[in-house]
Amino acid sequence: MRVEPRVANERLGRRHPPANHITAKSAALRAALKTATPLVGCVDWIRVPFVECVDDTEDTEDNTTPLVMTKDRLAALKAAQADDDDVAVGVDDRGGYMEEFFQEVEQIRENIEKMQTNVEEVKKIHSAILSAPQTDDKVKQQLDDLMADIKRTANRVRGKLKVMEQNIEQLEQTSMMSADFRIRKTQHSMLSQKFVEVMTDYNKTQTDYRERCKARIQRQLEITGRSTTNEELEEMLESGNSAIFTQGIMTDTQQAKQTLADIEARHADIIKLENSIRELHDMFMDMAMLVESQGEMIDRIEYHVEHAREYIETAKQDTKKAREFQRKSRRGEMIDRIEFHVSSALEYVEEAVKDTKKAMEYQRKARRKILYKL
């Protein structure tokens, strides 16, 4: 049987205060108790007015600790779970700082590939010229256009690599061995090496063509009855005067005239080749020295690539084992993460249980105080 507060006070010899003496604080306290939800595994039921009323209570008989709002750990738990579930590595784009660099790298790579394609075309035209009985002006013009395009592209690539090298030197002074610096240094080294390889191939192509032209001139001279040694032929080529080759050659027959024209054409090709080689020599030596200075880094890159291949082979074997384990237990890969979440959740639950017990104790004390005052 429930006993009314007024009857309980009369039995205990206490006089109930008049209704007109009920303070606004008591009214607020009753309203807070009526609106409070039951305590079911949660401490959010404690209302701010209730805490204020208990903290502001003046005439209390037992010296109890004021009720403190319990911290809600639900948001922290969800945040921790979200952080743990997110296994992707975030990359700071730094405002497109590296994106611009990679665009420049791609442009340089495309220019180098264009040069390589043109060099292959030059090889084909060289073979066509040497195999033809007569020189075709259209083919020679095509060859001149390709050589001019290779020269322009090579100068453009060289300039871009120089600018990139200067930027790397500035970055080395400011940020030391940062990740950006290593990426830029590696890309510059690989591009420089590729550029030198293409230029070396082009230089070899020109040199081979010169030797083949020289051999053809020597054969043509032998046909006309003039025998020359290799040293004499080199002296003739270095003189730059095609009349030296035609001295004493009789041009009475059509075949002799054609032979003479072919010798002059081959000599003109050799002079043009020597000029082209001389123009690109400085650029070739400059880039070759740069690649030589970067030889240690390139060797290190090759070392890492070789070891990366070993790691890939090992990873393939581990992947096969992982698939076997996965077939046995599809959720095996999630065990570690689940254990971590369970451990974290247990810690939060233990703290929540402690806070709940404290809240229940405060609630009992607060209700006793209310009954006592009533």
CATH number of the domain that residue 205 is part of: 1.20.58.70
Asked whether residue 82 is domain-assigned, the answer is no
Number of domains in the chain: 3
Question: Closest Cα partner for 69 from 347, 353, 355?
Answer: 355
Residues 258 and 360 in one domain: no
Residues 166 and 265 in one domain: yes
Residues 284 and 142 in one domain: yes
Q: Is 64 helix (H, G, I), strand (E, B) or coil?
A: coil
Residues 262 and 312 in one domain: no
Per-residue pLDDT of the chain (374 residues; tens, 9 = 90+): 444 555 445 554 555 455 444 445 455 545 554 554 444 444 443 344 433 434 444 444 444 444 444 555 566 655 655 554 444 444 444 546 678 889 999 999 999 999 999 999 999 988 888 887 777 788 888 988 998 899 899 989 989 998 988 888 887 777 655 777 788 888 988 998 899 899 889 988 888 888 887 787 777 777 666 677 777 777 766 766 655 555 555 555 556 556 666 666 766 776 676 666 666 666 666 666 655 555 555 555 555 555 555 656 666 676 766 666 666 655 555 666 666 666 777 777 777 777 777 777 777 777 776 666 55
Residues 37 and 110 in one domain: no
130: containing domain? 98-292
Residues 148 and 257 in one domain: yes
Residues 280 and 190 in one domain: yes
Residues 135 and 27 in one domain: no
Asked whether residue 281 is domain-assigned, the answer is yes
Phi, psi (degrees; rounded to nearest 5) at 241 = -110, 115
Measured distance CA(57)–CA(28) in Å, rounded: 12
Q: Does this model's pTM top 0.75?
A: no
Residues 239 and 321 in one domain: no
Distances (CA, A) of 39 to 113, 349, 353, 366: 74, 15, 12, 14
